[in-house]
C-alpha cells in the first residue's frame, strides 16, 4: 500500500484587503516566483531565477452557461505550505518522493481556485462547492510563453486518436498555421534550456485535455461527453450523439490539476510532478502487483526459427511453449498472447483450437511464467461482469486492453471501472491505444503501463529523432509501453524491415539503453527468442534491468538531442545513454556511487556502428565515486551499463 508520512504542515492564513494587488507566491527553494493578479479576472506571471517564463490568464470554467473566473469577486485569499513523503506502489523513478509546496486558495464563494507552487512546477485546479450534479460546458486557461520558445507536440486530427503521431517541433505561429490540436503533454523549449512541460493529473470523471494555439497563446479544448455510440467493427465505436457539455459531474468536487513544469532538460527527466498531484492508492493490499518484463510475439511475427525449432510456428501451443521456455531461461516474468490467441476477437473466453489454452497455462505455471492476454476494449465492455473472474479462475494475472482511442468523460470512467474491477481479481492491466497517464495509475497501481506513444511497433515511423523526445514528453508524465528490444539494428538511411524479420532504427547499444532510459511498469522484449539466443550477452543484460527503481539521476541531457540516466535498484546502478542523429562524446561523473571500488560492465557502440548498427563492444572496468567516465555515442547510438 502506498504510504504517506507527513513531515510538516504550516498554515499561514490571511485575508487580502486590496484583491487587485499582486499576491506573490514562491517555491520552497525560492527559484520560482508567481505573481497573481485578480484585478480583471484571474491571471499570474511565472518567473524562474528572476526571469519571466510565461503568463497564464483567462482561467475560467463554464458551468451550465455561467462563467466562473471572469471578473468574479474574490472573498478571501489564503496561503499554506505543505510537505510530505510519498512512497509509490510502483516506483518508476524513486521509491521515496519528497513533495514540498506553497499553495494559495483564492476563494470566490461557490468555487475556489487552488494555485500550488513547487520547486519545479506551478499547478492549479478549480474546486467546486455547488449543489447536485453540474454540467461543465468548458474549461479554459491561456498560457503565453516568453519569447523564443519552440513547441514540441503530438497532433490530433480529431478527438478520436491513439496518441501515436510523430512529434512536431515548431514555433507557436507555425503551429497556428497548421490549425491542428495537440495532445497533452506539451513541451516548450527555450535556447537557454528552460523547459516548460504542460500536463494534467488527477483526471477523474472528466475528459482529458487538448491544446490549441492562437496569436502566441496556448489554450485548452476538450472532447464533448458522448450521449450515445455504436460499435464500429470489433474494436472501435462511432459516437452518434454528443452532449453540449464536456462533463456532467458532482458539484462538490475538485477538478483535475493543470500543471506546468518549470525546469531544465535534466529536471524534466527527474521530476515526479504527476505522482505528487495524483490521488493515493485505494488498494489496501498491493502485494500481488508484480511489475516486470513481457516476452512479446506480435512484433516478431510469432516465428522462432532456430535449430531447436521443429514445429510449425504461429498462434499455437508449441510456439507459446517455446516463448515460455525462453522467458523462464532469462527470468522474464510474463509472455504476452496478442491478437490471434482467441477464436474470435469478440469472444474472450475461447482460445483457438491450436492454442490448447488450459494446457498452455499449466505449462507456463510449471515454468514460473505468467500469461498475458490481449483484448480489444469492446470485448471487455461486452463481458464486463464475468471476464476478470473467469480469467482469475484460469490463472491469468494480466491483460493488455487495446484500441480505446478516445479521451472523453465516458472513456475516462470506463478505464477506471475496468481497472478497479480487474483489481478485485488481482489482475494487472496494460492499456494500449490509450490516452496518456493522468493519475489513475496511482489510484489503482495494478495499472502498470499505457501505450499512447509512437513505439517500436510502428516500424519505419519509429525514428530515433522522435524517440529522443519521449523521455522529455510522453514518458515524463508516466509509464509508456514503447516495446523496445530489437536485435536487428539499422541506421535510419539503411532501414529495411518487415515482419517476421522486424527491425529498428538505431544501434544495438541504443536499443539496450532504452531499457534504462524509458519508464514502464511492464517492459517488453519485442524481438524473436531466436535472435535473443544469438545475442545471449545482450539478452542477459536486458533481462537484468529492473522495471521499478529506488533512485533516478539524470547525468546529462538536452531535450530531444541526447539523454544519460542513472538508476539504482538496491546496490546496483544501471546507466542508459541515447542520442539522435548526432554522434557525441560525453564525460560522466560517477560521484553518486558509494565508497569503495565497483565493477562496471558496459555495452558501447562499436567503431563501425554508424554503418553496421549492430556493431557493439562489451567492456569492463573498475570504477569509484571519483571516476570521470568518457563515453562515445555513434549517431543514433547508445551506451548501456551496470555498476555493481
For 108-160, the pLDDT digits (tens) are 999 999 999 999 999 999 999 999 999 999 999 999 999 899 999 999 999 99
Distance CA 119, CA 102 (A): 9
Reported as a single tens digit per residue, the pLDDT across 160-173 is: 999 999 999 999 99
Domain 3-277 has CATH 2.70.98.10: yes
pLDDT at 330: 98
pLDDT in tens, 257-282: 999 999 999 999 999 999 999 999 99
Q: Is 101 helix (H, G, I), strand (E, B) or coil?
A: strand
The arithmetic mean of pLDDT across residues 52-66, rounded, is 96
Q: Which residues pair with 525 in a beta bridge?
A: 295
Residue 2 has pLDDT above 50, yes or no: no
pLDDT band at 26 (very low <50, low <70, confident <90, very high): very high
Per-residue pLDDT band for 1 (boundaries 50, 70, 90) equals very low
Which range (2-6, 86-90, 412-416, 479-483) has the least confidence? 2-6
pLDDT confidence bin for 238, thresholds 50/70/90: very high
Q: Is the peptide bond before 96 cis (omega within 30 degrees of 0)?
A: no
Taking the domain 292-546, which CATH number applies?
3.20.20.70
Query: In the chain, where does the domain assigned CATH 3.20.20.70 lie?
Result: 292-546
Q: Phi, psi at residue 415, to the nearest 5°?
A: -55, -50
Total Cβ atoms within 10 A of residue 138 = 17
C-alpha to C-alpha distance for 116 and 106, rounded to whole angstroms? 11
E strand or H helix that includes residue 239: strand 236-242
Mean pLDDT of 97-108: 97
The string of pLDDT tens digits covering residues 505-539 is: 999 999 999 999 999 999 999 999 999 999 999 99
Task: Give the pLDDT confidence of 36-47 residue by residue, as tens digits.
Answer: 999 888 999 999
pLDDT of residue 21: 54
**Res. 615: pLDDT tops 60:** yes
Over residues 361-378, the pLDDT tens digits come to 999 999 999 999 999 999
Q: What is the pTM of this model?
A: 0.95
d(Cα 15, Cα 276) in Å, to the nearest integer?
28
| Per-residue confidence band for 3, with pLDDT thresholds at 50, 70 and 90 | very low
Say yes or no to pLDDT of 555 above 50: yes
What pLDDT, on a 0 to 100 scale, did the predictor assign at position 22? 78
The boundaries of every CATH 2.60.40.1180 domain in the chain are 573-643
- For residues 453 and 451, what is the distance between their CA atoms, to the nearest angstrom? 5
Q: Which tens digits make up the pLDDT trace of 242-257? A: 999 999 999 999 999 9
Residues 53 and 71 sit within 8 Å (Cβ to Cβ): no
- CA separation for the pair 227, 43 (Å, rounded): 34
What's the CA gap between 614 and 67, in Å, rounded? 59
Contacts of 234 (CB under 8 A, 6+ apart): 345, 346, 376, 378, 379
What's residue 257's pLDDT?
98
Is the pLDDT score of 639 beyond 50? Answer: yes
b vs e for 236-245, b when ≥16 Cβ sit within 10 Å of the residue's Cβ?
Answer: bbebeebbeb
Question: Does residue 12 carry a pLDDT above 90?
Answer: no
Average of pLDDT values for 387-398? 98
> Where does the chain hold its CATH 2.70.98.10 domain(s)?
3-277
Looking at every residue in the chain, the average pLDDT score rounds to: 95
Q: Is CATH 3.40.50.11060 the classification given to domain 573-643?
A: no
Find where cell 499553495 sits. 103
Q: Any idea which of 69-83, 425-439, 619-633 has the lowest mean pLDDT?
A: 69-83
Distance CA 146, CA 205 (A): 33
- What average pLDDT does this structure show over 335-349? 97
State the CB neighbour count (10 A cutoff) for residue 504: 30
Amino acid at each position: 500500500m502506498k504510504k504517506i508520512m507527513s513531515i510538516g504542515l504550516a498554515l499561514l492564513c490571511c485575508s487580502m484587503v486590496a484583491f487587485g494587488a499582486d499576491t506573490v507566491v514562491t517555491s520552497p527553494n525560492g527559484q520560482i516566483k508567481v505573481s497573481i493578479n485578480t484585478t480583471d479576472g484571474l491571471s499570474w506571471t511565472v518567473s524562474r531565477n528572476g526571469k519571466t517564463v510565461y503568463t497564464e490568464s483567462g482561467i475560467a470554467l463554464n458551468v451550465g452557461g455561467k462563467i466562473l473566473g471572469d471578473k468574479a469577486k474574490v472573498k478571501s485569499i489564503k496561503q499554506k505550505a505543505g510537505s510530505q513523503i510519498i512512497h509509490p506502489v510502483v516506483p518508476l523513478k524513486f521509491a521515496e518522493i519528497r513533495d514540498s509546496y506553497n499553495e494559495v486558495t483564492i476563494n470566490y464563494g461557490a468555487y475556489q481556485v487552488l494555485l500550488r507552487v513547487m520547486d519545479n512546477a506551478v499547478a492549479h485546479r478549480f474546486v467546486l462547492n455547488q449543489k447536485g450534479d453540474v454540467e461543465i460546458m468548458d474549461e479554459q486557461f491561456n498560457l503565453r510563453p516568453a519569447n523564443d520558445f519552440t513547441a514540441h507536440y503530438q497532433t490530433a486530427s480529431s478527438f478520436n486518436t491513439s496518441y501515436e503521431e510523430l512529434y512536431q517541433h515548431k514555433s507557436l505561429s507555425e503551429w497556428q498555421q497548421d490549425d491542428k490540436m495537440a495532445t497533452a503533454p506539451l513541451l516548450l523549449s527555450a535556447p537557454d534550456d528552460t523547459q516548460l512541460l504542460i500536463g494534467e493529473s488527477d483526471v477523474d470523471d472528466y475528459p482529458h485535455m487538448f491544446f490549441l494555439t492562437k496569436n502566441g497563446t496556448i489554450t485548452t479544448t476538450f472532447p464533448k461527453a458522448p450521449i450515445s455510440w455504436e460499435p464500429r467493427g470489433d474494436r472501435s465505436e462511432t459516437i452518434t450523439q454528443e452532449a453540449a457539455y464536456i462533463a456532467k459531474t458532482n458539484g462538490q468536487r475538485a477538478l483535475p490539476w493543470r500543471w506546468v513544469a518549470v525546469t531544465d532538460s535534466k529536471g524534466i527527466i527527474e521530476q515526479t510532478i504527476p505522482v505528487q498531484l495524483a490521488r493515493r492508492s485505494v488498494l489496501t493490499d498491493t502485494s500481488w502487483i508484480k511489475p516486470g518484463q513481457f516476452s512479446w510475439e506480435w512484433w516478431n511475427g510469432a516465428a522462432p526459427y532456430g535449430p531447436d525449432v521443429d514445429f510449425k510456428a504461429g498462434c499455437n501451443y508449441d510456439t507459446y511453449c517455446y516463448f515460455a521456455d525462453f522467458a523462464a531461461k532469462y527470468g522474464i516474468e510474463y509472455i504476452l498472447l496478442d491478437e490471434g490467441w482467441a477464436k474470435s476477437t469478440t469472444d474472450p473466453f475461447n482460445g483457438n483450437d491450436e492454442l490448447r489454452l488450459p494446457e498452455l497455462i499449466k505449462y507456463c505455471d510449471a515454468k514460473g511464467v505468467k500469461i498475458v492476454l490481449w483484448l480489444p476494449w469492446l470485448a471487455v465492455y461486452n463481458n464486463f461482469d464475468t471476464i476478470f473472474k473467469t480469467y482469475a479462475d484460469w490463472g491469468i494475472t494480466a491483460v493488455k486492453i487495446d484500441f480505446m482511442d478516445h479521451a472523453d468523460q465516458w472513456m475516462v470512467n470506463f478505464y477506471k471501472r475496468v481497472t478497479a474491477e480487474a483489481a478485485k481479481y488481482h489482475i494487472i492491466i496494460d492499456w494500449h491505444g490509450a490516452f496518456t497517464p493522468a493519475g489513475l495509475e496511482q489510484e489503482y497501481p495494478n495499472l502498470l503501463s499505457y501505450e499512447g506513444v509512437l513505439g517500436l511497433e510502428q516500424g519505419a515511423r519509429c525514428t530515433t529523432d522522435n524517440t529522443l523526445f519521449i523521455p522529455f514528453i510522453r514518458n515524463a508524465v508516466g509509464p509508456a509501453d514503447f516495446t523496445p528490444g530489437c536485435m536487428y539494428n539499422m541506421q535510419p538511411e539503411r532501414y529495411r524491415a518487415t515482419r517476421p524479420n522486424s527491425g529498428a532504427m538505431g544501434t544495438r547499444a541504443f536499443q539496450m539503453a532504452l531499457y534504462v532510459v524509458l519508464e514502464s511498469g511492464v517492459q517488453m522484449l519485442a524481438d524473436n527468442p531466436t535472435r535473443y539466443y544469438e545475442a545471449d550477452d545482450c539478452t542477459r543484460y536486458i533481462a537484468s534491468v529492473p522495471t521499478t527503481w529506488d533512485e533516478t539521476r539524470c547525468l546529462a541531457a538536452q531535450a530531444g538531442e541526447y539523454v544519460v540516466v542513472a538508476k539504482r535498484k538496491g546496490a546496483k546502478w544501471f546507466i542508459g545513454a541515447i542520442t539522435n542523429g548526432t554522434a557525441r562524446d560525453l564525460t560522466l561523473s560517477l560521484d553518486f556511487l558509494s565508497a569503495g571500488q565497483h565493477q562496471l560492465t558496459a555495452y558501447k557502440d562499436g567503431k563501425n556502428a554508424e554503418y553496421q548498427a549492430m556493431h557493439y563492444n562489451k567492456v569492463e572496468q573498475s570504477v569509484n565515486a571519483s571516476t570521470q567516465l568518457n563515453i562515445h555515442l555513434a549517431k543514433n547510438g547508445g551506451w548501456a551499463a551496470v555498476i555493481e
